[in-house]
Structures are given as structure tokens and as C-alpha cells.
Structure 1
């Protein structure tokens, strides 16, 4: 009797647990099979020379890991193109001596998304994100930890806009 109760609970809970993770996957139309992610150009002053390459690889990797879409350059169902348009450092939270207590690094990526199967899903939008770092730290010292975190969030925002069901 106890074994039967355990089995029934397991059978009832398993689908519920698996349903909890469906948000992480894509809610793309099943007819979509391919994606093309063109190289995003660096159209801003500042930032490391490999910023564009780093972003491109993060975006491609995220879509490969979280969807069943195949990368292609021939007649893709989905197309991503754009540019990194901002890499800005600004002083934030001034102190009593009129110096910035924090600096803010903001990266902006302009994305043109084309869904060849459903043009109502197309968009051309800027995706910005920022993180703050201490005024005592230089951008050169801070960017090694800030840039990956900022780019990860921008990639997630792009993914959610195109594939998430929010």
C-alpha cells in the first residue's frame, strides 16, 4: 500500500515538475528550423577590440544551447543582424566631494530581427544593459568581469523577446 502511494505521488508530481522548466526553453513555432546570426559590428568608440566577436559567439551559443534551431546562411527562417552601438562609462552616485562614488558601464546593442515565416514578429530594437563598479576601479580593470555579465543579460533579453513566451 505504501509503495502504491509513493508510485501515485511520483506519477502525479513528475509532469508538474517538468512543466516548471518549460519557461527556460523556447516557445518558437515548430515550423521554424533554421537561424542566421550575422556578425554584429562594433559601431561605437571604446570597449575592447574583441567586444563584437564576444557578443556574436555568446548569441550563437545561447541559441544553439536553448533551441533546436540549426545555424545556416542559406534561406534561414530567423535572421539576427545589428551592431553594438554603445559602450559608455558614466559617473553615478556622487559623493560629498563631488566625485562619482560609482561608475556605470552601459553597453547597447541594436538588433534587427526578421522572422521569414511571420513578419508580425519582426522588430528593430535597441537592447541596453548596465552594471555599476567602484569609482576607485578603472574601466580596464573592471571590464573583465562586467562585460561578460552585461552581454549575458543582453543575449537573454534578445532571446526572451524572440523566443520567450512572456
Structure 2
């Protein structure tokens, strides 16, 4: 009779282990929710700078980062045109403003902002098409020259905007 109890416990334990293994949950950490049976290609046009103030390296850094996000976080093939997904637009703003003022009336902090206008077309489901603006900003101490900090700040903001665009287009949160 004791061996029957042991067999029942062993059977229950094995059943529990099988049940736990069968009920696994899968997560995608990049957030992409793409039906790769329908969507195989993406085209990302170069975004020209249409802002009043132009910092030439900004366009190159932004264009490369945006393409990299899709290539690194999806299985989509990057093509020059006629893709299943199309991303295009322009950099519409590169501005700096005095953010905070000290007691003596001089600026203590400067806010640098990048704004990008994006047109997204999903040729497999046009209900997902949109045109939207994305932006990011960073502040820096007004005792520093913009030329001393802008490359680092641009790197951060470009990454943030590229992630925003990625999430809006293929993450479907």
C-alpha cells in the first residue's frame, strides 16, 4: 500500500512538471509585433533637414540610427523602395531655448530640441498609415557652448526619437 502512495506522488510530480513546461510564455523584448508572413520588407527614406537652424551631421546620424533600429530589432529586409512598410519624413526642428533663469536674470540652462515629422505607410494594412511628429529634448548648462555638447546630446535624442518611431510603427503597444 505504501508503494502505491509513492507512485501516486511520483505521478503527480511528473504531471505537474509536464504542465509547467507546457505553459510557457514567450516575450519579445524589442516589442515588435510584425506578421512576417505578410510583411517582409521596409524602406526608410533619408530624412532631410527642413529646420530653420541646420546642423549638417544631424541628418546623417538620424537616418543611420533609424535604419539600424529596424535592421537590428526586426527580420525585415531594408529595401530602397516599394516595400511592405514605408517610413519617410523630414527633420522639422532643431532649436535651443533658455530653459531656466538665475536670480541675476541670465540663463542657467538651455533646452535643445529635435522634432521630426514622419509619414508611415503599411502597404499590407493601410488602416495603420499615419503622419505624426516626434520629438526629444535635452538640457545643458548655459556655461557650456552648444558646440561642446551637441554631438553627445544629438546621439541621445536621435536614439530616443528612433525608438519612438519604431514603437509607433511596428510595436503596436
Fold similarity call, TM over 0.5: yes
Partner residue, 1:120 = 127
Say whether 1:163 aligns with 2:167: no
The residue correspondences of 1:47-66 to structure 2 (distance < 5 A) are 47-66=54-73
2:111 maps to 1:104:
yes
Structure 2: gaps spanning 5 or more residues: 1-9
Pick the aligned partner of 1:77 from 69, 78, 84.
84
What is the CA deviation profile of residues 86-130 of structure 1, one whole-angstrom value per residue up to 9, with x for unaligned ones? 000000121111112110000001101111111111111110110
> Alpha carbon RMSD of aligned pairs, Å?
2.2
Q: Which runs of 5+ in 1 are unaligned?
A: none
Per the TM alignment, residue 74 of structure 1 is displaced from its structure 2 partner at its CA by: 4.1
Aligned partners of 1:23 and 1:164 also within 8 Å = no
Q: Distance in 2 between matches of 1:97 and 1:128?
A: 31
Q: Which runs of 4+ in 1 moved over 3 A?
A: none
Larger radius of gyration: 2
8 Å Cα contact 2:42/2:77 also seen in 1: yes
Aligned residues between the structures: 159
What is aligned with 1:28?
A: 34
